[in-house]
Structure 1
């Protein structure tokens, strides 16, 4: 048994990023308060929380841009994140490209900052722009591009040196629906090619569509870390029931906390499961017209885990964009 356990450990790859008890103080303000997380290699991992929750500070500590006040982090096997820099692509929340540069040169320049020769960077930039159907952008100056186009160019600069780890800080901020969809597909494509992607966001829908694992951060603390399914699993499934009968013995099967939405009853699935509920409804002559069991979404899980205040802050920030 002990030999088998050791073999399993050997087969299990180490996390691409590992953080233990990260704390960051700015004067008397504690921006990050004991964040721990493990990002499996080859996954899409989301840091989810409202602006000001500590997501950006956490990412900067993971990358070695700033040092933690306490705690440890390990990136791609390196205890000093700066040693992993050639294998990391980083898109900061604050965007910035030289306006006079052509798009292909801007992409190559960002790659050169990670050690990629400019000539090779231009070749790869042309290939990336063509791959994503943007070949006609190659020789356009950055100043002539829309905000979404310029942000896409900067993202391609993040990818041009073919990093093993890609870190994107609020990458969807300010993008229209078309560019958001393009970015989501880019992220999925990089994951298919074996890269590990970490991105921060205050938009739950992006995390729900893309992420395998998430960390919910609120007030500088990790309120939840694990799979999206595990987050949803914190809540019981929801039953939506519409019956022909308005009253009868079947009503005893409806929990006391059930609410009405139009003609439907809405309530949590009882712990006993759907079979006893169905039996009671049928035996009680409820006359079932429709019965649907719905899995809670990540938004509902976020509210349950982080609280109403954090969810309200997320909603107002999303609406303001």
Structure 2
């Protein structure tokens, strides 16, 4: 493992922001830290970055206490964006790279690669204040990893990006992973977490509701999401044994089952020896699980 968080608690007077939090991240892994606003995500990031001290517990990187490591191995994209408005795109990237101990010759290939990849070639000499919000965000993202950190923290990196730029960012994150960068990120958009992460931690008011692999989280619920396309009316489907709820989604129904064992009897009833256009049994999405966990669990 590279990053290890063990029984970490952070208190502000009588308020507990994070309580006995534990998880580990392996080298080259993308790990998601998810939760509602105020769940303790940013506080956790700041403790990992040694910007705030823990009240108790330990945070280590490759076995060394986090406050003893070389800070240049870290990269951070905060949720509160901040780049220099009067500085050009190119100068900005060199500046942030040099802050982490790199010289211009070392940085030049990275600057050129990422300016081209993020489609900023015609903006390289433009001041940041003249850029669109999306392009400003791309610049700050590049600045967070231009020095090729071993460990990168991204706090809400997709916020405010259009679909095209979101795909550019996802590609960049996966590219960094392939090169061995260990990445920890948060996002309120669960489809992004589900697409990029193998492991995650779900926080509510500073307490972990689940830590582990995405598939293990889904298996807690089982395959209870049944999507069907049938002429049978909704009212009749709602009466079937094992059906908790039925939603209409355009020209199909989405049934939530008590458990997946009811799927066979529902299939037999719906088909009754006849053709059915669609019958698909699957796990709940991370978004659906997140909403259920947060709604049901009291901490």
> What is the TM-score when the length of structure 2 is the normalising length?
0.85
Alpha-carbon offset, residue 198 of structure 1: 0.6
Do the aligned partners of residues 156 and 257 (structure 1) sit closer, same or farther apart at CA in structure 2, a change above 3 Å counting? Answer: closer
* 1:230-249 superposed matches below 5 A: 230-237=216-223, 238-241=225-228
Matched position secondary structure for 2:291:
helix
**Residue 41 (1) aligns with residue 30 (2):** no
Residue in structure 1 matched with residue 57 of structure 2 by the alignment: 71
Matched position secondary structure for 2:82:
coil
Question: Is residue 89–residue 165 contact of structure 1 (8 Å, CA) maintained in 2?
Answer: yes
Matched position secondary structure for 1:198:
strand
* 1:81-100 superposed matches below 5 A: 81-100=67-86
Alpha-carbon offset, residue 244 of structure 1: 6.5
Any gaps of 5 or more consecutive residues in structure 2? none
Do the aligned partners of residues 268 and 119 (structure 1) sit closer, same or farther apart at CA in structure 2, a change above 3 Å counting? Answer: same
Matched position secondary structure for 2:5:
strand
Could you tell me how far apart the structure 2 residues matched to 1:144 and 1:243 are?
A: 53
Residue in structure 2 matched with residue 315 of structure 1 by the alignment: none
Residue in structure 1 matched with residue 18 of structure 2 by the alignment: 32
Do the aligned partners of residues 260 and 50 (structure 1) sit closer, same or farther apart at CA in structure 2, a change above 3 Å counting? Answer: closer
Higher Cα Rg: structure 1 or 2? 1
Residue in structure 1 matched with residue 94 of structure 2 by the alignment: 108
Alpha-carbon offset, residue 267 of structure 1: 4.1
**Residue 163 (1) aligns with residue 149 (2):** yes
Alpha-carbon offset, residue 147 of structure 1: 1.8
Question: Is residue 56–residue 169 contact of structure 1 (8 Å, CA) maintained in 2?
Answer: yes
**Residue 133 (1) aligns with residue 115 (2):** no
Bigger mean CA deviation after superposition, 273-282 or 98-107? 273-282
> What is the TM-score when the length of structure 1 is the normalising length?
0.80
**Residue 193 (1) aligns with residue 182 (2):** no
Alpha-carbon offset, residue 175 of structure 1: 2.4
Any gaps of 5 or more consecutive residues in structure 1? 1-14, 311-321
Picking from 223, 226, 242, the partner of 1:255 is 242
Alpha-carbon offset, residue 217 of structure 1: 0.8
Could you tell me how far apart the structure 1 residues matched to 2:125 and 2:232 are?
A: 69
Question: Is residue 48–residue 214 contact of structure 1 (8 Å, CA) maintained in 2?
Answer: yes
Matched position secondary structure for 2:221:
coil
Alpha-carbon offset, residue 263 of structure 1: 8.0
Residue in structure 1 matched with residue 286 of structure 2 by the alignment: 298
Query: What is the RMSD computed on CA atoms of the aligned residues?
Result: 3.0
Question: Is residue 245–residue 285 contact of structure 1 (8 Å, CA) maintained in 2?
Answer: no
Could you tell me how far apart the structure 2 residues matched to 1:18 and 1:193 are?
A: 21
Matched position secondary structure for 2:28:
coil
**Residue 268 (1) aligns with residue 261 (2):** no
Matched position secondary structure for 1:167:
strand
Could you tell me how far apart the structure 2 residues matched to 1:289 and 1:118 are?
A: 60
Question: Is residue 216–residue 306 contact of structure 1 (8 Å, CA) maintained in 2?
Answer: no
**Residue 208 (1) aligns with residue 194 (2):** yes
Alpha-carbon offset, residue 55 of structure 1: 0.2
Do the aligned partners of residues 140 and 286 (structure 1) sit closer, same or farther apart at CA in structure 2, a change above 3 Å counting? Answer: same
